[in-house]
Structure 1
Amino acid sequence: MHLLLTLALLAAPVPTTTASYAVYDRITHTLTGRDVHKPIRSASLVKILIAIEQLESRGDDPRIEPMLRVSDDNAASELWVENGWDQLVVRTAERLKLKDTRPPEKRGMWGYTAVSAYDVVKIYRYLLEDAKPKVRRTIMGHLQRAEKCASDGFDQSFGLPSATWRPAFKQGWSGFGDPTKPCVDRPRPRIQWELDTKSPALHTSGTCLFSIVVVLTLHPEGTTYEKAAKRVTQLTEEVTKHRC
């Protein structure tokens, strides 16, 4: 019986990380990657769309800085509501010609916006190539000054900040509960729905040298933030090798 149980355990599939990524070379104008159109929930990457919509429709706002630099959820939630909830995603996806981006089924859950690695690259290309200088300078300036510690206590230094030199970056995470070792004394509380996520998500995105890099990942339930962050950094090192 023990032998049968052992064989059954060995035969059972081992949960693995699901990853899609895209790297766009701004010199050769070529895109390489894997599963670039795979829809994955955005977590905090949607904050870039929130910033674009705010700047282009309503003007600059002091809440954009903490939303982008320390990934502040409260600032994002307020700007999300003020800019039309889920319709913000509909409008920006149409304006930026995003192929795979969809608003969340429940309009209050902005972190459940669907994105793909391809579309996140297009968002950065829009900022760098098509957006008005004021929009580009504001958003990319904040991403260039993104801090190591997020407002909710999570360490943002995985992925691009660890694998490349001086990137402008925006990270995303969801489903890890509360940080085991917060990097701030009093982390700001996170929105409650993130605690119900079954598959932890961890994303890194941004620019380094002449490349735009996006790595989106989903991890087996129960994966620690530290373990997921290590996986994302390793993958980022692989896809950015000889590029950044």
Structure 2
Amino acid sequence: MLWRIGLSLCATALTGVLLACSVRVPDQPPAAATPAAITATTTTTTKTSTIEHPNLAKEVTDAVTSVVPGTSVSFVLYDKETGQTPVSVNAGTQRYTASVVKLLIAMDALHTGGWHAPSNGRIAEMLSLSDDGVADSLWAADGQGTIVTRMARLIGLKHTTGPRIADQWEMTSTTADDLAAIYRYLTDEVPAVAADPLLDALAAAKNPAADGFQQYFGIPDGLPGRQWAVKQGWMEIQRSVVLNTTGIVDDRYIVVLLAELPAGTSFARGRPALTAGISAIAPALPG
């Protein structure tokens, strides 16, 4: 499996009422959730987490909001080796996926007819380059929102739902907890014949993305020198600017940082905010 130092971005920076890797008309977004209290949680297992940093949840949030005040954040750090989630912030708050939903589109395509390897390079391009054209084609061909329904049922996602407007895949809703579950399922449950090509594509994220967007924010820029496999997301909606950085670090940690920044925030200002949030966890990660 190829693990590279680099990053994958998710959607595309566009202008207008909604920009998400392609110009789209936004549907009615759900009412903004009241930010939940920041919590640090530990699950008891047979192993003890090596992450002992009781203020990490607050430090991640403070790092983001110090760059862009008023940003609403969800964050999960999951340790695959211990089976623990040592840090979480607003992990159950529903947020829009933007291009992160391409994970589900890709997994659904390779699950149809039984898990199998990709027949060509289109799925890899959809992930590594965050190619919207490929996503549009697969979304239409495979049933639009039923893709999300099938994958949510298969993986056991409790808070992931398809978009209200059928062709707006970027408006799929999920939570940080559910995204962590998607990565766990991909690495632990999907047969290698299907999982390895997807993980290789995530590890081979190109910068810039297919649409020219600078994808190396959050995990790649925030954790230099570490191995990662990532899927990013970004778009602008009426109420906010969405930036998401998600992935696997050092083949051990699942990292999910989802942010809604105040409306009108530029991507040039927003990207460093997520990178600052991810940088805050660097001292807590072994190695």
Instruction: Using the TM superposition, give the Cα deviation of residue 105 of structure 1 relative to its aligned residue in structure 2, in angstroms.
Output: 0.6
More helix by share: 1
Structure (1 or 2) with the larger CA radius of gyration: 1
For residues 67-121 of structure 1, give each alpha carbon's deviation from its aligned partner in whole angstroms, at most 9, with x where no partner exists. 1001011110101111111000000000000111011011100000001100110
Which stretches of structure 1, 4 residues or more, deviate above 4 A after TM superposition?
none
Instruction: Using the TM superposition, give the Cα deviation of residue 63 of structure 1 relative to its aligned residue in structure 2, in angstroms.
Output: 1.5
Partner residue, 2:89: 34
TM-score by length of 1: 0.83
Give the residue type in structure 1 aligned to 2:90: D
RCO (CA 8 Å, sep 6+): is it higher in 1 or 2?
Answer: 2
Give the match's secondary structure for 2:284. coil
1:110 aligns with 2:169: yes
- Contact 1:143–1:169 (CA under 8 A) maintained in structure 2: yes
Alignment partners' CA distance in 2, 1:71 and 1:77: 11
5+ unaligned residues in a row in structure 1: which ranges?
1-13, 176-195
Partner residue, 2:73: 19
5+ unaligned residues in a row in structure 2: which ranges?
1-67
Alignment partners' CA distance in 1, 2:275 and 2:69: 19
Alignment partners' CA distance in 2, 1:87 and 1:205: 23
Partner residue, 2:6: none
> Structure 2 matches for 1:38-53, cutoff 5 A?
38-53=93-108
- The number of residue pairs the alignment matches comes to 211
Alignment partners' CA distance in 1, 2:84 and 2:143: 35
Instruction: Using the TM superposition, give the Cα deviation of residue 47 of structure 1 relative to its aligned residue in structure 2, in angstroms.
Output: 0.1
Give the match's secondary structure for 1:219. strand
- Contact 1:20–1:35 (CA under 8 A) maintained in structure 2: yes
| Mean CA deviation greater in 54-63 or 166-175 | 54-63
Give the match's secondary structure for 1:79. helix
Q: Alignment identity in percent?
A: 33
- Contact 1:39–1:100 (CA under 8 A) maintained in structure 2: yes
Partner residue, 2:216: 157
1:173 aligns with 2:227: no
- Contact 1:174–1:197 (CA under 8 A) maintained in structure 2: no
1:125 aligns with 2:184: yes
Give the residue type in structure 1 aligned to 2:255: V
Partner residue, 1:243: 285
> Structure 2 matches for 1:173-192, cutoff 5 A?
173-175=234-236
